[in-house]
Structure 1
């Protein structure tokens, strides 16, 4: 797995996160949650992330660095499409620090994820976006993303998850 990825933007590089990046990853998660007005919902800790990302290897993280300073991250993992018979990549989070937005960094990260998907023989790259996030929605559409209007996301968590496991 290639560790450092040069990009078309001078002084901007992408790399896969290392275990030492866990505090940085958590800080990016909290900054994103704050932007999404959901900071109160973050219960992740460094310990949880270390275990999930680096011991259990349940997801991967790309770190974007501008002039060797971390300014962006993307957290993703594989899912599977039975219809395609292939894995896909699900992008859980993509975050660029506000002072670096508008420089093409989000596009570069999405492009790199698409390259990873193709290298890994994935059938698709997908993600969710909050309905109110118009700038992101327009950006995604401009890159060829199509909203899945016919689908509704369902989620089971906390006590409901425990109860369902006992059924």
Structure 2
């Protein structure tokens, strides 16, 4: 039996995802990608999620349930701030089904993660947001989140990642 975590919202509870949730997690990821117009970028599989989330434990997932039906999820992991000398929580994905938006579910999930960050002695909770996603940007700013406009995200992946890795030891 999974432990349900009560929230301030009637009929809405959180729970830590387990192995049987892998298909649901992948479904949420695909729904989020569709919303972000990035469906073509999803290459995750149930096998990959099972390995990284439950065997290697590289990230964690919480599921939000309204009246016992899954309606949201958050995937997060620890990072580290050398300046703070403390870990942080990095929120990779937060998704609430469209019909459940505007009810406070996202705020509850972020509040839970903030509480978890404090319990784990993290110095911060952070995430990225697409610039064009005005509803989310507005929501995050209302919560007091500050955009990090002076930072640029850099990424290497695919062939570029392979090429960079091959440079080691040369």
After TM superposition, the score normalised by the length of structure 2 is: 0.97
Any idea what the Cα deviations from partners look like across 1:7-42, whole Å, max 9, x if unmatched? Answer: 000000000000000000000000000000000100
Following superposition of structure 1 onto structure 2, how do residues 124-163 of structure 1 map, counting pairs within 5 Å? 124-163=124-163
Match of 2:91 in 1: 91
Determine the C-alpha separation between the residues in 1 that align with 2:9 and 2:49: 30
Match of 1:29 in 2: 29
Determine the C-alpha separation between the residues in 2 that align with 1:144 and 1:102: 17
Determine the C-alpha separation between the residues in 2 that align with 1:80 and 1:4: 29
Any idea what the Cα deviations from partners look like across 1:51-97, whole Å, max 9, x if unmatched? Answer: 00000000000000000000000000000000000000000000000
After TM superposition, the score normalised by the length of structure 1 is: 0.98
Match of 1:10 in 2: 10
Segments of structure 2 that go 5 or more residues without pairing to the other structure are none
Number of residue equivalences: 166
Structure 1 stretches (4+) deviating beyond 2 angstroms?
none
Determine the C-alpha separation between the residues in 2 that align with 1:67 and 1:85: 41
Segments of structure 1 that go 5 or more residues without pairing to the other structure are none
